[in-house]
Amino acid sequence: MSYNNLQETLEKYAKAYTVQFKSQLRKDNTYASGDLANSIKPDLSLKNEFSILALDYIEQVSEGRRAGKMPPWPPRSFRILDWIKKKNIIIKKKGKVVSPSPNNLKSLAYVIARSIGSRGAIKRFGYKGSNIIDFVYNSLSKQMGDEIFESYKQDLEKILKEQIK
C-alpha cells in the first residue's frame, strides 16, 4: 500500500519546520556562529514519519540553562571558545585590551562558563531560554495536523477504491 499524499505532506512539513527553526533563530537573535542553524535538517529516513535533527544544544537555547551548576568543564568550554572566536569578543583585563592568546581565551571561556553556572544562560529571555522548540511547533502543528489527516484520508480512499474494483 502506498501513502503518497501522506508522504508528500510529511516532506512538505519537514522542510517547513526546518525553515521555521532557522528563521526563528535569526529573529530571536540566538544565531551566533551559524553552527546550530546549519545543523538543522529534516530526517525522512523512516516511511511516513519525519524528524528534525539539530545539534544537542538547541535544547539549552530553547529551554535555557538554570543557574546553580556550571557547564561541564572543559568539554562544553570548547563551544564557548568557538563562540568567543566567531563573535570576535575583545578581551579586557583591568580596562585594557589584551591579546587573544590561547590562555586568555581559555580564561575568558572559563569565566563565561562560571557565569552561566551562577546566573543561567541568555539574559534577555530571563535565563529561561527562547522557547524556540515550542514556538515553532505551535506555529505549524494545527495546520500540519489538518493536512496530514486530509492526506491520509485521500490515500485510504484511493486504496479502498482499488480494492473494490
pLDDT interval class at 150 (50, 70, 90): very high
> pLDDT exceeding 90 applies to what percent of the chain?
44
Q: Please give the average per-residue pLDDT across 132-159, as a whole number.
A: 95
What does the pLDDT look like over 59-101, one tens digit per residue?
Answer: 889 988 777 777 777 666 677 888 888 888 888 888 888 888 8
Nearest to 133 by CA among 77, 57, 46, 67: 57
Count CB neighbours of 42 within 10 A: 18
Count CB neighbours of 31 within 10 A: 16
Q: If you ran DSSP here, which 8-state letter would residue 42 be given?
A: E
The rounded mean pLDDT for the chain is 88
Nearest to 131 by CA among 36, 63, 29: 63
Count CB neighbours of 21 within 10 A: 23
Contact 159, 39 (CB under 8 A): no
Residue 104 vs residue 70, higher pLDDT: 104
Q: If you ran DSSP here, which 8-state letter would residue 89 be given?
A: P
Q: Return the beta strands (E) in 7-154 as ranges.
A: 41-43, 51-53, 92-93, 96-97
Q: Please give the average per-residue pLDDT across 92-116, as a whole number.
A: 87
What does the pLDDT look like over 25-54, one tens digit per residue?
Answer: 999 988 877 889 999 999 999 888 899 999
Residue 137 vs residue 100, higher pLDDT: 137
* This prediction's pTM: 0.79
**What does each C-alpha distance from 104 to 80, 90, 92, 117 come to in angstroms?**
13, 11, 10, 20
Least confident interval from 58-67, 128-137, 147-156:
58-67
